[in-house]
Structure 1
Amino acid sequence: MQSQNGARALTRNFDRGARALALLAAVSMVASCGLPRSGPNKREIYASSVIKGGDAFIVDVTPQIARIASQQTTFGFSKAFQSAGLIGPDTISPGDRLAVTVYENVKDDPLLGATGQRASPLPEMLVDGQGYIFIPYAGRIKAAGQTPEGLRQAITRKLEDQTPDPQVAVIRLAGEGSSVSIAGSVAASGVYPIEPNTRTLGGMLARAGGVSIDPATALVRVTRNGVTGKIWLNDLWQNPNLDIALRPGDKIVIEEDKRKFTSLGATGQSIVPFKSSNLSAVEAIATVGGLQTNSADPTGVFVFRNESAKVANAVLGRNDLTGEQRMVYVLNLTEPSGIFEARDFLIRDGDTLYVTEAPYVQWTKTLAALTGATGTASNIANTADSLNGN
């Protein structure tokens, strides 16, 4: 009797072992079939390292690496823009229109008017492209760069030898001479005259109604004589030195930041525009909804980037690299300083932010696939038994 019980126990243990082996074999088979996943795992990414025969440098982010790799393109105005002083509110420019009236101290035979007419209003005149106007009996006179008072004195000197004690009045009319154009993402694009309260960039933008996009992503581009300077709008408000004096003919364009990064893996899957001039890795993760709690591996946050040779050499402590280099920066958010380093590491245009799945996720998928397969097989067997009348 005891021998029979021992045989039965041995048989049960054998069956359990066989089932365990079968389960392990099934898990291995299902896993090898390539279950769906969001991308490569940490082991596969590290296998692409240059030191393992791959084509990418894989670098753990430290405070020093964050400082070197987070260099952003800086914008600003050249000294030529910043050194230009404010133009006078009445400075005459090519394209301006002027009203000139000459008063003569004679009745019988005035130089410019009819007999008995002391005041002689001249036809409205346009300051030509070279900055000159034409006054009868005075000839071509340089008007551009002068104020109406300065031009009045110049005309008077030209006429005083030909008519006794001439009195001249000069009025600068509304025109397109001292004006700038504003286009792009502004409330009211158009051509605006440079007036006392619009002689600087900030004043002119206010005159145009401000920008029509998020100021955090607005860029201001100013082109003058073929030279262009560009700044962030927020920098304009924060730094008075960037509120440059305008010049006639300046072209101002407001454009939205076009930079983007790609988010993949165990986080939001999307192409994401920048929401500010500087975007840290932490902010980028938050922008796409954060790490997926049920699947993300906080030790496997990667930033893929094509880095310039200069930066790559500095990051790797080398000086022999040439051309763009493929770099993979690794952030471990579980380390004590990991959040700080992710906060200091800046995302750049074209970066790919990738978060790997936690190791248990593939096991969960494998078990789910096995459970589903077992249930399907059981249903098929039950159906077959029913058809056979069992």
Structure 2
Amino acid sequence: MNLPARAVAACLPIVIAGCSTLGASGPSPDAIVEAGQAGGEERQIVVVPLDENSARRTAAVVEAQRFSDVFGNPQPGDTTIGVGDVLDIAIWEAPPATLFGVTAPGTPIGNSSGQNVGIPQQVVGEDGAIAVPFVGTVAVRGQTPSAVAAAIERRLRGKAHAPQAVVRIVQNESRAVTVIGEVGATRRLPLTARGETLLDAIAAAGGTRQPVGKITMQMTRGGRTASMPLDTIVRDPAQNVTLQPGDVLTAIFQPYSFIALGAVGQNAEIPFEGVGISLAQALGRIGGLRDERANIRGVFLFRMEQAGALPISIAATARQTAEGRVPTVYRLNMGEGSALFTAQDFGVRDGDVIYVSNAPAVDLQKFLNIVSSAAFSVTGIGSAVP
């Protein structure tokens, strides 16, 4: 065996070993599908075709998280008094005044005037009560101002002549909402009997500092939290819900992002606005698929999906996280004629990962490059050795 032949034989194992370690930007389509088809505990993900049905199911889940569905839209009720509120109390007594004033002897009744007295402003204590002279302790928590006035009048009868009382809330501390985030001025907004809405609160806080189309509103009530694009709330009056005491509104600027990997124009984390974007728009923002590398049948979207967005037969057996999410991979075949329409209907969510696999020919080309490089090296060695 001459030297060039021996050199080729020596390099062949290296070339073959290189075939199994070709560079790649992620898993192959077959590897992803096999992971979704594994049985038992080995099945860590669910692979779902990205078609019209998938787009409809995911859109239905988003609609179920609208403010009107999560929080309802209760009608405003009477303003009630709570702990920390400051009350202004005025009491009138008809002539002849016997408790809060004195009428001069001999003064005709028609010429006498009623007497009134202003009580120092009262702060509702932790016990939900206030103290009124000649009346004593009055429980006011949960009562309306008119109900408290009537209670004071009843307890003054027999002490004052035809007493009348007026009670006003001058500082509402118990019935307020908090507005924070990308607004003109963070503030606590007292609620009135008019029934302030979400947009009322934003306006009272000076509006948003960023364009409406790039703001997402997060609303927290009790133990529930939901988010919606502000633009959607403006366009759909049903989502401009009536606020309740203790609500927290947070205006967030472009809070969402997705990650693009693989055979695409740009591998990066891409932020997007609160109004949301479709898969077609997301692909456009990253420069689309790379013609020389991309597998048009290997466009994948990885998501921690809600079980309600999956077919019942799949959701019933899928592995779920502690939060009830299912590791899901949506597969889009861009070779189908309707693929672009489907991509337009399918919304991208915060934290999604878009991955485009390499075409099979790309790996073949890498292999041929390795073989070619090895062959030229052997030829060079053979030429150099006499």
Per the normalisation by structure 2, the TM-score is 0.70
| Alpha-carbon offset, residue 355 of structure 1 | 0.7
Matched, 1:199 2:196: yes
Structure 2: which amino acid aligns with 1:34?
T
Question: Which one of the candidate residues 99, 107, 114 is aligned to 1:111?
Answer: 99
Higher mean C-alpha deviation, range 119-128 or range 70-79: 70-79
Given the superposition, is the C-alpha separation of residues 273 and 72 from structure 1 closer, same or farther in structure 2, using an over 3 Å criterion?
Answer: farther
| Alpha-carbon offset, residue 262 of structure 1 | 3.3
How is 1:182-261 mapped onto 2 (pairs within 5 angstroms)?
A: 182-195=179-192, 199-212=196-209, 215=212, 216=214, 218-223=216-221, 226-234=222-230, 235-254=232-251, 260-261=257-258
Distance 2:47 2:238 in 1: 41
Structure 1: which amino acid aligns with 2:37?
V
Unaligned runs of 5+ residues in structure 1 are 1-17
| Alpha-carbon offset, residue 233 of structure 1 | 4.2
Structure 2: which amino acid aligns with 1:194?
L
Question: Which one of the candidate residues 287, 312, 315 is aligned to 2:285?
Answer: 287
Structure 2: which amino acid aligns with 1:321?
T
| Alpha-carbon offset, residue 67 of structure 1 | 3.3
Residue equivalent to 1:3? none
Given the superposition, is the C-alpha separation of residues 41 and 254 from structure 1 closer, same or farther in structure 2, using an over 3 Å criterion?
Answer: same
Residue equivalent to 1:9? none
Secondary structure of 2:202's counterpart equals helix
| Alpha-carbon offset, residue 301 of structure 1 | 1.0
Matched, 1:75 2:65: yes
> Is the 8 Å Cα contact of residues 301 and 355 (structure 1) preserved in structure 2?
yes
Larger Rg: 1
Q: 1:294-335 CA deviation, whole Å, 9 max, x = no partner? A: 322323212345667776654xx6697353476543212132
Given the superposition, is the C-alpha separation of residues 152 and 272 from structure 1 closer, same or farther in structure 2, using an over 3 Å criterion?
Answer: same
Structure 1: which amino acid aligns with 2:330?
Y
Distance 1:114 1:262 in 2: 82
> Is the 8 Å Cα contact of residues 256 and 274 (structure 2) preserved in structure 1?
no
Secondary structure of 2:75's counterpart equals coil
Distance 2:270 2:80 in 1: 47
| Alpha-carbon offset, residue 238 of structure 1 | 3.2
Aligned length: 358
| Alpha-carbon offset, residue 72 of structure 1 | 3.3
Given the superposition, is the C-alpha separation of residues 211 and 222 from structure 1 closer, same or farther in structure 2, using an over 3 Å criterion?
Answer: farther
Distance 2:253 2:177 in 1: 20
Higher mean C-alpha deviation, range 138-147 or range 200-209: 138-147
Secondary structure of 2:72's counterpart equals helix
Secondary structure of 2:76's counterpart equals coil
Secondary structure of 2:177's counterpart equals strand
Distance 1:327 1:169 in 2: 63
> Is the 8 Å Cα contact of residues 179 and 193 (structure 1) preserved in structure 2?
yes
| Alpha-carbon offset, residue 244 of structure 1 | 3.1
Distance 1:197 1:309 in 2: 40
Secondary structure of 1:122's counterpart equals strand
Question: Which one of the candidate residues 94, 98, 101 is aligned to 2:87?
Answer: 98
Secondary structure of 1:300's counterpart equals strand
Residue equivalent to 1:36? 23
Secondary structure of 1:38's counterpart equals coil
Per the normalisation by structure 1, the TM-score is 0.69
Higher mean C-alpha deviation, range 290-299 or range 73-82: 73-82
| Alpha-carbon offset, residue 189 of structure 1 | 1.9
> Is the 8 Å Cα contact of residues 219 and 255 (structure 1) preserved in structure 2?
yes
Secondary structure of 2:120's counterpart equals coil
> Is the 8 Å Cα contact of residues 221 and 253 (structure 1) preserved in structure 2?
yes
| Alpha-carbon offset, residue 207 of structure 1 | 0.6
Distance 1:119 1:68 in 2: 67
How is 1:324-343 mapped onto 2 (pairs within 5 angstroms)?
A: 324=320, 327-343=328-344
Higher mean C-alpha deviation, range 48-57 or range 345-354: 48-57
Matched, 1:155 2:152: yes
| Alpha-carbon offset, residue 135 of structure 1 | 1.8
Residue equivalent to 1:10? none
How is 1:352-371 mapped onto 2 (pairs within 5 angstroms)?
A: 352-365=353-366
| Alpha-carbon offset, residue 29 of structure 1 | 5.1
> Is the 8 Å Cα contact of residues 309 and 321 (structure 1) preserved in structure 2?
no
> Is the 8 Å Cα contact of residues 132 and 144 (structure 1) preserved in structure 2?
yes
Residue equivalent to 1:299? 297
> Is the 8 Å Cα contact of residues 189 and 208 (structure 1) preserved in structure 2?
yes
Question: Which one of the candidate residues 111, 124, 138 is aligned to 2:121?
Answer: 124
Q: 1:129-158 CA deviation, whole Å, 9 max, x = no partner? A: 454332222233454566655544543343
> Is the 8 Å Cα contact of residues 77 and 229 (structure 1) preserved in structure 2?
no
Distance 1:250 1:326 in 2: 32
Q: 1:156-196 CA deviation, whole Å, 9 max, x = no partner? A: 34324222244545443234243222334433223222247
Residue equivalent to 2:130? 133
Structure 1: which amino acid aligns with 2:136?
G
Distance 2:46 2:175 in 1: 55
Identity %: 28
Given the superposition, is the C-alpha separation of residues 81 and 167 from structure 1 closer, same or farther in structure 2, using an over 3 Å criterion?
Answer: same
Given the superposition, is the C-alpha separation of residues 373 and 283 from structure 1 closer, same or farther in structure 2, using an over 3 Å criterion?
Answer: same
Given the superposition, is the C-alpha separation of residues 332 and 260 from structure 1 closer, same or farther in structure 2, using an over 3 Å criterion?
Answer: same
Secondary structure of 1:158's counterpart equals helix
